[in-house]
Amino acid sequence: MNSALPVLIIIMICAGITSDAEGSLMSMMDFRYWRCVMKRQWKCPDSEVNFFLFTPERPYSQWIDVRHGDLSEYGWKVTRKNVLIVHGFNGTHAKTPISFLRDAYLSRKDYNVFMVDWSMLARFPCYLSALANMRLAAQCTAQLYSFMTQSGALAKKTTCVGHSLGAHICGMMSEHLTEKQYKIIGRSRCSHFMSSCYLAASIRRRLHIIGVPCDNTCPKQGRWGIRYDRKPIVLGDEIPDSTRGMFCAKVDHDENCPFD
């Protein structure tokens, strides 16, 4: 009996170590099920978060490797402004309505356009997984932002445009940056197709949308909670940097994306 006891204890200890090791290994592995993936490893760059650069001279998709090379090799110019465009749930960097924004910025000839694609982590119907994966998408996009600034890009000349969950990613990037972002444009998931069209139109300068100061009742229950203590402004890419608050706008058009 006495000689068997140490052997039994050793077996139990080894079994415990094996179980702990398996648990640690499982916690490090990505959780994949059906069409969904929930990332467990927060390391960038990641093969499922990709970046593509479009320039006026090269208006086609160029995959960016943030680990190597020089942005100028892709046609990037430090004298231009920069925009990072991040799609939302069940989107890609190439699908409408995100492509409307890409083309609008390119038409200006004064932007380097970076498209963020985390579509493999934001597939339908995997909404809960997409929510969890925003953390990694933001971390890796912040790495791209740092790569840009190291190449000479200025925060004041860089805008992050996000749709729905993409807007949250733009905001979450700041947790991984030493320098505060200068400008973020977040687009609501409500009427998201037309909101992209109107933003694209304002970027192309084909449409001037006037925003009237209002409270948070706009546009609920058909009422406009107009405020008269602030002045109307022109909404869109040229909105003054000092602008704060909520603004209501009314645009009468029946066509789908009539300005593109």
Predicted confidence at residue 2, as pLDDT, reads 45
Predicted confidence at residue 45, as pLDDT, reads 96
C-alpha distance from residue 42 to each of 73, 91, 99, 137 (Å): 28, 22, 28, 9
Task: Give, as one character, the DSSP assignment of residue 68.
Answer: S
pLDDT in tens, 224-236: 677 778 889 888 7
- Residues of the chain with pLDDT > 90: what percent? 52
Element (H, E) at 103: helix 98-108
Dig out the tokens for 242 from the structure. 């000092």
Asked whether the predicted pLDDT for residue 240 surpasses 90, the reply is: no
Per-residue burial over 123-158, b if 16 or more Cβ lie within 10 Å, else e, is: beebeebbeebbebbbbbbbbbbbbbbeeebebebb
Q: Is the pTM of this model over 0.85?
A: no
